[in-house]
Structure 1
Amino acid sequence: MRYSTDHKQQTRDKLLASSGALAKRGGFASTGVAGLMNAIGLTGGAFYNHFPSKDDLFSEIVRQELSNSPLARLAERGADRARLARCLEQYLSLAHLHNIEGGCPLPPLGVEIARAERPVRELAEHWLVALQAAWAETLQDSALAWALISQCVGALVVGRMLASEAFQDEVLQASRNLVGKVLDEAR
């Protein structure tokens, strides 16, 4: 039986969504093709109808996840400081920390991106440089933009490493305070 083009695209979209969630929750490298396909109810052999390789799937996951990241909203040039401050407040929240699958892909996928082939790292670099440039324009400070991106992503990584929600909240609150202070002083 032949499937329609729409069916193939729908299956590809389901595979991307499911694989993105699996990668953010438990790591991409540790899940095989069979496991990725099993998550959407298909056999491993059907994978190659959608992607030439697992690396190609990871590239597409990274592209899609970065494009839909909470930080992507702040990549628009000309965003004002107040909007940036509000978005960073939300980014550095317990709700975001606990929303691994729906949240920013950088904390859960950063190490895997760093270990990935050059095209994946170049894709992530392109996105991060665009984000940094937009923040630098808003802040009128290139170095501060890099520092804030690193602070925010790092705070989520450290927070997720901790078992106690009280300590997670302490890390996030400290980061919110630091970001707020830095944004106030940089005016």
Structure 2
Amino acid sequence: MRYSTEHKQQTRDKLLASSGALAKRGGFASTGVAGLMKAIGLTGGAFYTHFPSKDDLFTEVVRRELCNSPLAQGTVDRKRLKRLLDQYLSMAHLHNPEGGCPLPPLGVEIARAERPVREEAEHWLVHLHDAWSLTLGDTQQAWALISQCVGALVVGRMLASEPLQAQVLQASRNQVHKAFDETE
């Protein structure tokens, strides 16, 4: 039985969405093709009608996840960016890796991935950096804030104690606010 082009695209989209959530929750490398396909109710053999390899799927997952981030919406005014970063550095975001930014949970896997995956992440990060640089008027501050925010979530998720997690996030929000004050 042949499926329509629309059905194939819907299945591909479901696979991308499910793979993104699974990767952010438990790691992409640790989930096999059979597990990725099972999550959307299909067999592992059907995978290769959508992607030539698991690396190709990971490249698409990275593209999709990074492009859909609220922080990737281009240049925003200072007030909105500050508000977005406060939301980013929140306990709600810390406790929701599958629904949040892909960089904290997938950064190490992206760094170890094949070049196309890293190039996709680089493309998005440069786009984000350029937008924040325009907003802040400072290219170095933009890189520092990107690193600060991603690092704060990584460290916060490493900790077992919620009070310590909250301290890390608050300290990072304070640094973000200080950076905004310095670039005004």
Unaligned 5+ residue runs, structure 2? none
Q: Runs of at least 4 residues of structure 1 off by over 3 A?
A: none
Q: 2:137 aligns with which of 119, 136, 140?
A: 140
1:170 is matched with which residue?
167
Where do residues 1-187 of structure 1 align in structure 2 (5 Å cutoff)? 1-73=1-73, 76-77=74-75, 79-187=76-184
CA displacement at 1:138 relative to structure 2:
1.0
CA displacement at 1:165 relative to structure 2:
1.2
CA displacement at 1:70 relative to structure 2:
2.9
* In structure 2, distance between residues paired with 1:3 and 1:80: 46
Amino acid at match of 1:117: E
* In structure 1, distance between residues paired with 2:145 and 2:82: 11
CA deviation vs aligned residue, 1:37-76 (integer Å, no higher than 9, x gap): 1111111111001101001000000000000113213xx1
Provide TM-score, normalisation by structure 2. Answer: 0.97
Tell me the matched-pair count. 184
Amino acid at match of 2:110: I
SS in 1 for 2:97: coil
* In structure 1, distance between residues paired with 2:100 and 2:18: 14
Q: Percent identity?
A: 80
Unaligned 5+ residue runs, structure 1? none
CA deviation vs aligned residue, 1:143-173 (integer Å, no higher than 9, x gap): 0000000000000000000111111111001
CA deviation vs aligned residue, 1:91-125 (integer Å, no higher than 9, x gap): 10001111111100000010111011111111111
